[in-house]
Amino acid sequence: MAISEDRVSHLAHRIYDRLWRDDLADFPDESRPLACIKEAITSFFAVAEEIDDTVRRKLASYAQAKVPGSREYEILYQKFYQEELAKRKW
Amino acid sequence: MKLKDGQIERLAERILERLTVAGLIQLKSERGKLLAGIRSVIAADCKGEEDLEKEAERLLEQTLRSMGGAAGGIDRHKMLRMIKERLAKERGIVL
């Protein structure tokens, strides 16, 4: 689940604008909150990448799931992915 | 970027938590309203991409059908990405 830098920036600006425009919050400074939102989004997606790597490494040791893209591979991938999500409460 | 509702919820919480801990935000409403605002922005962004993907898939199928036998040598994945990028540009969607 990759996310581009452009998209992180775009999303951060939209979140910032929504909170400010709807009068839900004030920001004493503009650039630092934006950087903080970008950081939160980036680190959140970094965990997703980490989970994907963990699952693929785990699958590499499974004889019945040797072929990425095969039905067995996809079924086991989903199963292990959900397990990792639950483990990390992500 | 496909996110389930629970993931959108957690991402919204983390954003607000970071802003609060760093002292970069002054709340003018209850926390729940801020979270709902953040959630709705993320959900709308995901929905925009989802709709774009569906439309790109539809256009790809239409293109391949119109090409008939000549579609055999086409790299579907590459073509889908090109269609997606073109649609995103037209609609002002950031991928």
pLDDT confidence band for A65 (50 / 70 / 90): low
What is the per-residue pLDDT across B22-52, written as a single tens digit (0 to 9) for each? Answer: 999 999 999 999 999 999 999 999 999 999 9
Q: Which residues of B touch A41 (CB under 8 A)?
A: 11, 15
Cβ atoms of A20 and A26 closer than 8 Å: yes
Residue from B9, B15, B16 whose CB has the most chain A CBs within 10 Å, to mutate:
B15
Give the residue among A26, A30, A32, A14 at the shortest CA–CA distance from B28: A26
Q: Do B1 and A18 touch (CB under 8 A)?
A: no
Cβ atoms of B37 and A22 closer than 8 Å: yes
Q: Which two tokens stand for residue B75?
A: 């790299």
Quick one: pLDDT at residue A39? Answer: 97
How many residues can be counted in chain B?
95
pLDDT: is B77 or A23 the higher one?
Answer: A23
Q: Does B33 touch chain A (CB under 8 A)?
A: yes
Q: Across-strand partners of B26? A: A26
Q: A83 vs chain B: nearest CA distance in angstroms?
A: 15
What global pTM score does this model have?
0.79
Q: Pick from B14, B25, B45: which is nearest to A11 by CB? A: B45
Contacting residues for B81 by C-beta, under 8 A, at least 6 apart: none
